[in-house]
C-alpha cells in the first residue's frame, strides 16, 4: 500500500544524502574509485547501508588512510554521519572543509551540508547564513535543493516576501521549486494573503507532471486552491480547482467532498449529492468519506426530504458506532505491541530497512488509521531510530556470538604452538647453521692462503689434478732411481711437463680465484639469509605467547564492551517503543475524537428530525 501523501515523498527526498544523487549515466568524480576501501564504502552507501559504509571508512582510517580520492572520503563520511543521525560527528567533519584552502566545489558542498544540518536542528539563522555563503559550484539539482531550503527557512521565519523572491531564482524544471511553491502558497493562505497564495498554488496546479510525485503534488495544490477559494467565497472557481484533481489519485476523496460543498454553497443541492454519493463506495476510514456520511443527509434535510435524511443519518450513526468499536480493538492491539512488531524489519540484519519502509505502510491493523502520523517527519524519524536500535542490537548479538569462535581459534593456535615447540628445539636444520659457518670459515682461510702464497696448483681442476698426481708419481720414481741411472733427459721432460701444467693453471689463476671468491660470497649470503630466517623464526616463536596474550586481552575487552552496550541499547529500545506507542495512541485518540464528533452530530440530527416529524405528525 502506497503512502498517499506528498509529505512522505517530500520528507524522504529531503533525507536523501547531499553527497550525490547522480545516477549511473552521469560520470561523477565522486564515484571514480582510486582506492578499494573508498569503493567498498560507496557500495554500501549506494544501498543505504550507512552503518556499514561508515565502518568501512573508519577501518580504512585505521589500516591505510585513503589518499588518492582528495577530500571526497571526508565529504562522504560527513554525509553518511548526517544521514545516520550523527549530527555532531557530521559537523566536526564538515567544519574543517570550510577553509579557504579547500577547493571551492568541496567547500560549497560542506557549507551546503552544514546548512542543511543546522536547518534540521532548527538553527534557522545559522542555516541561512551557511546556505548564503555558497558560491556557484553546486550542480543544478543541489542548487534547487538549496533554494528550497532557503525558502522554507523564510517561511518558518514568516519572511514571506523573501520566500517569494527566492522562488524567482529557480531555473529550469525543478521538483524542489514545485515543493517550495506549494509550501509558500499554503503559508500565504494561512496568513490570509489569499491572492498571493492562490498565485503560487495555481502555478503548481497547472504544471505538467513528469513523475508520479509531481502529479501528487499537483493534486494537492489544486485541492488546497479549491479550499482556499471556498474560504474566499468563490465556489464556482473552487469547483474547477477540485475538478483538476485526478479521480484515481490519493486526494480524490477530499476533492469530491470539496466539489459537493462548493455546489452546495451555490445552492445546487442535488448536484452536490452526486460526488458525495460517489464517496459512499470508498474506504470508510477516509475522513472525507466519513464527513460525506453527514453531508448527504444534511442536504436531504435541507431540501425537505426528512425521511431520506433520517435513513442516511441512521446509516451514518451505525457506521460511526462500528468504527468506534473497531477503534477499541485497534487501541488494544497498539498497546499490546502489534504496531511495534509491524515496524520491525522482517530481517533483523537489514540495515537499510528504514528506507524501504518509507515507500510502504507497515503491515499493521492500525496503519489505515495512522496514515497522517506515519507520513509525518516526527514518526518517520522515530521509526528510523527504532529500526537503527534493532540493527545495533543485531550487530552486538552477532559479535557476541563470534567471540567464542575467536577464543577457540586462539586456543587452537596456542595448542598448535605448544605442540610444535619441541620440534623447533630439536630441528636439525636450524642447528646445522653453525656447522655450515665453520666449514665456510675453513674454506675462506684456504682461499686466503692460496691467494697469499700464490698456490697455483691448489686451483687445479679435476683433470689437472690427475695430471699433477701422475707428475708426482713420476717425480717420486725419478727420485728413487736417481743414483742408478742417468735420468737427466727424463728430469728435463718432467720439469717441462710440470712447467706447462703450471703455466696452464697460472694463466687461469685470476678468473679461478674470482670464481672461488664469488662462491664464498654466495655462501656468505646464504648464511646471512639462513640466520635471518632462523632469527625471524625464533622471534616469531618467542613472540607468539605475547601475541596470544594480546589477542586474549583484545577479545576479553570487547566482551565487556558488548555487554555494556547491549544493556544501553535494550534500554533505549524500550524507551523508543514507548515513544512510538504514545505517538500512535495519541493519533488514534484524535481519530476517535473526530468520529465521536461526527457521531454526536449524527445523533443530534436524528433526534432533531424525529422531533420535527413528530411535531408535524409524520409517521
Partner 1 sequence: MTKQYQIFFLLLALLLSCSAVAAAQAENIAPAASQKNLDKGIQDLKKEVLQLNRDLFLLEEDLLFPANTQFSVFVSIDAGNLFALDSVQLQIDGKVVANYLYTERELQALRRGGVQRLYIGNLASGKHELVAFFTGTGPSKRDYRRGTTLEFEKTTDPEFVELKIIDNKTKEQPDFKVKVWE
Nearer to partner 1, 297 or 364 (CB): 297
Q: How near is the Cβ of 14 to partner 1 at its closest, in Å? A: 6
> In terms of Cα–Cα distance, which of 244, 5, 248 is closest to 258?
244
Q: How near is the Cβ of 131 to partner 1 at its closest, in Å? A: 12
Q: How many CB atoms lie within 10 A of CB 592?
A: 17
Nearer to partner 1, 518 or 594 (CB): 594
Strand partners, 563: none
Distance CA 130, CA 124 (A): 10
Nearer to partner 1, 504 or 578 (CB): 578
Return the residue matching grid coordinates 509558500: 184
Distance CA 388, CA 77 (A): 18
Nearer to partner 1, 454 or 597 (CB): 597
**Residues near 388 by beta carbon (within 8 Å), at least 6 away in sequence:** 51, 84, 85, 354
Nearer to partner 1, 407 or 451 (CB): 407
Nearer to partner 1, 227 or 357 (CB): 227
Nearer to partner 1, 213 or 254 (CB): 254
Strand partners, 360: 2
Angle among Cα 96, 100, 104 to the nearest 5 degrees reads: 95
> In terms of Cα–Cα distance, which of 84, 76, 144 is closest to 110?
76
Q: How near is the Cβ of 16 to partner 1 at its closest, in Å? A: 12
Nearer to partner 1, 184 or 327 (CB): 184
Q: How near is the Cβ of 114 to partner 1 at its closest, in Å? A: 15
Q: Say if CB 430 and CB 424 are below 8 A apart.
A: yes
* Dihedral sign (CA 349, 13, 121, 92): positive
Nearer to partner 1, 152 or 467 (CB): 152
Cell numbers that stand for 302 in this block: 435541507
Cell numbers that stand for 414 in this block: 596456542
Q: How near is the Cβ of 377 to partner 1 at its closest, in Å? A: 4
Q: Please give the torsion angle defined by the CA atoms of residues 130, 136, 139 and 140, in that order, rounded to the nearest 10 degrees.
A: 90
Q: How many CB atoms lie within 10 A of CB 112?
A: 23
Q: Say if CB 42 and CB 22 are below 8 A apart.
A: no
SS3 string, 250-267, reads CCHHHHHHHHHHHHHHCC
Distance CA 313, CA 598 (A): 10
Nearer to partner 1, 12 or 491 (CB): 12
Nearer to partner 1, 317 or 467 (CB): 317
Q: How near is the Cβ of 264 to partner 1 at its closest, in Å? A: 6
Nearer to partner 1, 92 or 507 (CB): 92
Nearer to partner 1, 8 or 450 (CB): 8
Distance CA 444, CA 524 (A): 10
Return the residue matching grid coordinates 544521514: 83
3 state SS of 351:
coil
Chain CA centroid to CA 56, Å: 11
For residue 596, give the DSSP letter: H
CA-based diameter of the chain, in Å? 181
Helices and strands per DSSP (H, E), number in the chain: 25, 0
Q: How near is the Cβ of 287 to partner 1 at its closest, in Å? A: 7
Nearer to partner 1, 62 or 462 (CB): 62
Q: How many CB atoms lie within 10 A of CB 580?
A: 20
Q: How near is the Cβ of 73 to partner 1 at its closest, in Å? A: 13
Distance CA 61, CA 77 (A): 11
Q: How near is the Cβ of 218 to partner 1 at its closest, in Å? A: 14
Q: Say if CB 269 and CB 302 are below 8 A apart.
A: yes
Nearer to partner 1, 64 or 538 (CB): 64
Q: How near is the Cβ of 532 to partner 1 at its closest, in Å? A: 13
> In terms of Cα–Cα distance, which of 327, 393, 380 is closest to 565?
393
Q: How near is the Cβ of 5 to partner 1 at its closest, in Å? A: 8
Cell numbers that stand for 402 in this block: 563470534
Q: How near is the Cβ of 76 to partner 1 at its closest, in Å? A: 11
3 state SS of 482:
coil
Q: How near is the Cβ of 379 to partner 1 at its closest, in Å? A: 10
Q: How near is the Cβ of 104 to partner 1 at its closest, in Å? A: 23
Distance CA 116, CA 111 (A): 8
Q: How near is the Cβ of 509 to partner 1 at its closest, in Å? A: 42
Distance CA 493, CA 504 (A): 16
DSSP 457-516: GGG--HHHHHHHHHHHHHHHHHHHHTTTS--HHHHHHHHHHHHHHHHHHHHTHHHHHHHH
Amino acid at each position: 500500500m502506497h503512502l498517499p501523501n506528498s509529505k512522505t515523498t517530500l520528507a524522504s527526498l529531503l533525507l536523501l544524502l547531499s553527497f550525490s544523487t547522480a545516477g549511473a549515466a552521469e560520470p561523477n568524480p565522486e564515484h571514480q574509485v582510486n582506492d578499494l576501501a573508498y569503493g567498498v564504502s560507496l557500495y554500501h552507501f549506494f544501498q543505504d547501508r550507512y552503518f556499514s559504509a561508515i565502518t568501512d571508512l573508519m577501518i580504512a582510517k585505521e589500516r591505510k588512510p585513503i589518499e588518492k580520492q582528495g577530500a571526497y572520503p571526508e565529504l562522504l563520511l560527513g554525509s553518511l554521519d548526517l544521514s545516520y543521525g550523527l549530527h555532531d560527528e557530521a559537523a566536526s567533519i564538515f567544519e574543517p572543509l570550510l577553509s579557504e584552502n579547500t577547493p571551492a566545489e568541496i567547500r560549497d558542498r560542506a557549507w551546503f551540508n552544514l546548512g542543511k544540518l543546522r536547518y534540521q536542528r532548527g538553527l534557522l539563522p545559522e542555516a541561512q547564513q551557511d546556505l548564503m555563503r555558497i558560491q556557484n559550484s553546486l550542480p543544478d539539482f543541489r542548487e534547487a535543493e538549496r533554494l528550497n531550503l532557503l525558502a522554507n527557512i523564510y517561511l518558518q521565519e514568516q519572511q514571506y516576501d523573501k520566500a517569494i523572491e527566492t522562488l524567482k531564482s529557480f531555473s529550469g524544471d525543478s521538483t524542489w521549486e514545485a515543493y517550495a511553491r506549494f509550501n509558500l502558497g499554503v503559508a500565504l493562505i494561512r496568513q490570509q494573503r489569499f491572492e498571493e497564495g492562490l498565485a503560487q498554488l495555481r502555478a503548481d496546479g497547472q504544471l505538467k507532471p513528469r513523475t508520479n510525485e509531481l502529479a501528487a503534488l499537483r493534486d494537492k495544490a489544486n485541492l488546497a486552491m479549491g479550499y482556499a477559494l471556498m474560504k474566499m467565497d468563490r465556489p464556482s472557481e473552487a469547483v474547477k480547482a477540485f475538478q483538476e484533481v485526478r479521480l484515481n489519485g490519493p486526494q480524490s476523496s477530499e476533492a469530491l467532498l470539496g466539489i459537493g460543498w462548493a455546489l452546495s454553497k451555490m445552492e445546487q443541492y442535488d448536484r452536490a449529492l452526486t460526488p458525495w454519493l460517489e464517496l459512499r463506495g470508498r474506504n470508510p476510514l477516509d475522513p472525507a468519506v466519513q464527513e460525506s456520511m453527514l453531508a448527504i443527509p444534511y442536504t436531504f434535510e435541507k431540501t425537505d426530504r426528512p425521511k431520506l435524511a433520517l435513513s442516511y443519518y441512521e446509516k451514518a450513526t451505525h457506521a460511526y458506532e462500528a468504527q468506534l468499536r473497531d477503534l477499541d480493538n485497534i487501541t488494544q492491539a497498539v498497546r499490546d505491541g502489534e504496531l511495534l512488531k509491524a515496524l520491525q524489519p522482517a530481517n533483523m540484519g537489514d540495515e537499510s530497512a528504514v528506507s524501504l519502509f518509507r515507500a510502504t505502510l507497515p503491515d499493521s491493523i492500525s496503519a489505515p488509521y495512522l496514515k497522517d502520523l506515519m507520513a509525518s517527519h516526527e514518526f518517520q524519524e522515530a521509526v528510523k531510530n527504532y529500526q537503527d536500535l534493532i540493527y545495533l542490537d543485531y550487530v552486538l548479538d552477532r559479535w557476541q556470538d563470534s567471540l567464542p569462535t575467536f577464543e577457540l581459534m586462539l586456543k587452537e593456535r596456542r595448542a598448535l604452538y605448544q605442540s610444535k615447540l619441541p620440534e623447533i628445539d630439536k630441528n636439525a636444520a636450524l642447528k646445522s647453521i653453525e656447522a655450515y659457518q665453520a666449514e665456510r670459515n675453513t674454506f675462506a682461510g684456504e682461499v686466503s692462503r692460496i691467494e697469499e702464497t700464490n698456490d697455483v696448483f691448489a686451483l687445479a681442476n679435476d683433470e689437472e689434478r690427475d695430471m699433477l698426481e701422475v707428475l708426482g708419481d713420476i717425480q717420486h720414481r725419478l727420485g728413487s732411481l736417481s743414483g742408478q741411472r742417468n735420468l737427466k733427459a727424463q728430469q728435463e721432460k718432467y720439469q717441462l711437463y710440470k712447467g706447462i701444467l703450471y703455466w696452464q693453471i697460472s694463466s687461469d689463476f685470476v678468473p679461478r680465484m674470482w670464481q672461488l671468491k664469488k662462491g664464498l660470497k654466495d655462501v656468505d649470503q646464504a648464511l646471512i639469509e639462513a640466520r635471518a630466517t632462523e632469527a625471524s623464526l625464533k622471534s616469531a616463536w618467542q613472540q607468539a605467547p605475547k601475541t596470544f596474550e594480546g589477542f586474549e586481552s583484545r577479545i576479553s575487552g570487547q566482551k565487556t564492551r558488548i555487554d555494556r552496550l547491549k544493556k544501553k541499547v535494550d534500554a533505549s529500545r524500550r524507551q523508543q517503543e514507548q515513544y512510538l506507542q504514545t505517538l500512535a495512541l495519541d493519533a488514534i485518540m484524535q481519530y476517535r475524537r473526530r468520529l465521536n464528533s461526527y457521531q454526536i452530530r449524527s445523533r443530534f440530527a436524528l433526534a432533531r428530525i424525529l422531533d420535527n416529524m413528530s411535531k408535524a405528525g409524520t409517521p
